[in-house]
Amino acid sequence: MAQKILAAHCGRDYLEPGELVKANVDIVLGNDITMPLAIEEFKKIGVDKVFDSEKVVIVPDHFTPNKDIKSAEQCKFIRGFANEQSIKNYFEIGSMGIEHALLPEQGLVLPGDLIIGADSHTCTYGALGAASTGVGSTDVAVAMATGTAWFMVPQSLKFNYSGNLKKWVTGKDLILYTIGLIGVDGALYMSMEFAGQAIKSLSMDSRFAMCNMAIEAGGKFGIIEFDSTTQKYLEGRHRRPYRIYNADSDAGYYRQYDIDCSDIELQVSLPHLPSNAKSASQCSDIKIDQAVIGSCTNGRMEDLEIAASILKGRKTARNVRTIIFPATQQIYLEAMEKGYLRTFIEAGCVVSTPTCGPCLGGHMGILAAGERAVATTNRNFVGRMGHPKSEVILSGPAVAAASAIAGRIAVPQEVL
């Protein structure tokens, strides 16, 4: 599927895995960490204007609201560039959300698109049937100047998910389980296609969470075929036409995996690799100091709804700091209207404005030495959320909310 999208963007009918091609991109994305470097490099190329001021998207979301003077300077620098270049899709605080929740929500990324972003989780948009991948600042600089990027055509892995999901299990559990199965480099340089009946029955939010973490298995793309769920999601959002690509029935996959979801329990990934996946129910003796619910992986409505349904009328444990950060302003507003914010605050949680902050140990929830968090984020590397001697356990929203109440890793059944 990704091969077909790449081929269409470089004027070819067919591409062979391993080929190096230059292709036209539909959207180029950067944030407050990667954009300053991209702008510096862009200026060296000697082109005055970006290739298309509507196709460059800039979202200052990592260290915002500005966490310190240096971050403020970086944001000021990219704001200046956005104004000078008349970048239409520059999102200032107030309209800003976490980029990978914001771009789909705003209808900026569509099926059949070829997208690059200077953020590794750019692979999220594959959930819409797009070929979308993370690159570095220099790639973004060149793409802003030329509208093109170089790609190595990847091999594809197909994951066929069957069976019914157990109660509380979401896309996050499926992807943690999958990374546990294949390892953090199990899809190195490859495209991961998520397919099967269980995927067809997944919500868009769960699909985003799955594709978001393709990079955690080393993947270049995480991609799901367009279907009625995708179509419904796009209604009222897209302002330009899109193209649907389906996988060929005889597509040559490097490898196929059959996964029966009816066996998959709520998952956690223990420190310090996303591939250290285990059933949450086997980890009930692990104490936590912090619970974090949000991020580009799990800061969408479905996640807040699950968390609210568990936290409603209950209190978080005395020694657990619970931080909830809705991924966009729109999600924040909807959560307010549905009463989730009240539920969270009454349960003893803190509700933050949209930011990537805690996920990458930037701000808004840094861990001290020896502390441990359960988080619905995407990485649990050494020092990811703060001190190099702190720990992060990854989970979906249900386990994070239940653990916040129990003060240790818990599944909802233990606290409801």
Length of the chain equals 416
Which letter, b or e, does each residue of 160-191 get, where b requires 16 or more Cβ atoms within 10 Å of its Cβ?
bbeeebeebbbbbbbbbbbbbebebebbeebb
Minimum Å gap between C-beta 360 and another protein is 4
* Residue number with CB closer to another protein (6 or 402): 6
Site membership for another protein, residue 132 (CB under 8 A): no
CA 84 to chain centre: 29
Q: Which among 215-223, 277-285, 334-342, 394-402 is the span making contact with another protein, rule CB under 8 A?
A: 215-223
Site membership for another protein, residue 369 (CB under 8 A): no
* Residue number with CB closer to another protein (107 or 218): 218
Identity of the residue numbered 183? G
Task: Please say whether the beta carbons of 98 and 60 come within 8 A.
Answer: no
Site membership for another protein, residue 381 (CB under 8 A): yes
Task: Please say whether the beta carbons of 204 and 171 come within 8 A.
Answer: no
Token pair of 215 as six digits: 């990079």
Site membership for another protein, residue 71 (CB under 8 A): yes
Token pair of 147 as six digits: 């509208």
**Going along 70-179, which residue ranges are E strands?**
89-90, 114-117, 131-134, 148-152, 156-162
In the numeric block, the tokens 């310190």 are attached to 68
Site membership for another protein, residue 189 (CB under 8 A): yes
Site membership for another protein, residue 15 (CB under 8 A): no
Residue 195: strand pairing partners:
160
* Residue number with CB closer to another protein (382 or 416): 382
Please select the residue that binds another protein; options are 92, 185, 248, 258, rule is CB under 8 A.
Answer: 185
Site membership for another protein, residue 384 (CB under 8 A): yes
Please select the residue that binds another protein; options are 135, 165, 169, 296, rule is CB under 8 A.
Answer: 135
Q: Which among 99-107, 137-145, 226-234, 253-261 is the span making contact with another protein, rule CB under 8 A?
A: 137-145
Site membership for another protein, residue 146 (CB under 8 A): yes
Task: Please say whether the beta carbons of 152 and 18 come within 8 A.
Answer: yes
* Residue number with CB closer to another protein (47 or 286): 47
**Going along 270-378, which residue ranges are E strands?**
277-279, 290-294, 321-325, 350-351, 372-375
Minimum Å gap between C-beta 182 and another protein is 12
Minimum Å gap between C-beta 225 and another protein is 23
Cα-based torsion angle of the residue sequence 374, 299, 59, 384 in order, rounded to the nearest 10 degrees: 10
Q: How far apart are CA 182 and CA 189, in angstroms?
A: 14
Site membership for another protein, residue 273 (CB under 8 A): yes
Minimum Å gap between C-beta 384 and another protein is 5
Q: How far apart are CA 278 and CA 149, in angstroms?
A: 38
CA 182 to chain centre: 19
Site membership for another protein, residue 3 (CB under 8 A): no
Which residues sit at the interface with another protein, rule CB under 8 A? 20, 33-34, 36-37, 40-41, 44-47, 62-63, 67-68, 70-71, 74, 117-120, 122, 134-139, 141-142, 145-146, 150, 184-185, 188-189, 215, 218, 220, 273, 360-362, 379, 381-384, 388
